[in-house]
Chain A
Amino acid sequence: SQQGEEDPQALSIQEGENATMNCSYKTSINNLQWYRQNSGRGLVHLILIRSNEREKHSGRLRVTLDTSKKSSSLLITASRAADTASYFCATVPGGYQKVTFGIGTKLQVIP
């Protein structure tokens, strides 16, 4: 079963705009991660935020986490055509082991 649900399922923006993707989950977590998948490839880890953190930055990526609402968002600033990919959130419960993915957001950045 899927733990996280991303929203929107698809997003199309112009190059230079910001892209925001949201993830909601159901059970308590130890941490939440975001991954990226280019077409025909495996997933690549982008950023991790722990349950006691509220915001984290990495380059053009900004992740927020609201454990009271069981939700997270991924913001990509100043998007580029190369950011075109699918983005997934993954939840990790206590125990550090089971990693469950949402259905993903398909982002298209138009040059």
Chain B
Amino acid sequence: DAGVIQSPRHEVTEMGQEVTLRCKPISGHNSLFWYRQTMMRGLELLIYFNNNVPIDDSGMPEDRFSAKMPNASFSTLKIQPSEPRDSAVYFCASSRTGVGANVLTFGAGSRLTVL
């Protein structure tokens, strides 16, 4: 298995632009998580899905952020409009809930810079 695949790896955009981050989880995993990592705030859980259904989006900072999981093999995190404070590394992780007690496999991350 190729692991969790995230794209793009790096994104530089200007304030106000729309940003879409993509994630392909490991085949057979039924939970998907989006995290944001910054020096100041550490690793924050933004949202997680179970069987493609959003379970907890309490970590999504604002209405500018939205996430979807249209099927078991694809998820997106969208920021519209983007702001400089959104600059961070965004990680997607997947797991097989109930097996291995929810051990996460992380993607390599998408580094976002908003100018």
Question: What are 18 A-B pairs at a CB distance below 8 A?
Answer: A33-B104, A42-B4, A42-B107, A42-B108, A43-B91, A43-B104, A96-B101, A96-B102, A97-B50, A97-B55, A97-B56, A98-B55, A99-B48, A99-B93, A99-B95, A99-B104, A101-B35, A103-B42
Binding site for A on B (CB under 8 A): 4, 31, 33, 35, 42-45, 48, 50, 55-56, 91, 93, 95, 97-98, 100-109
Q: Is the CB of A13 closer than 8 A to any CB of chain B?
A: no
Q: How many residues of A contact B (CB 8 A)?
A: 24
For the residues of B in contact with A, the DSSP-based class is strand
Q: Which residues of A contact B101 (CB under 8 A)?
A: 30-31, 48, 50, 92, 96
A92 & B42 in contact (Cβ 8 Å cutoff): no
Q: Which of B42, B91, B100, B105 has the most CB of A within 10 A?
A: B42
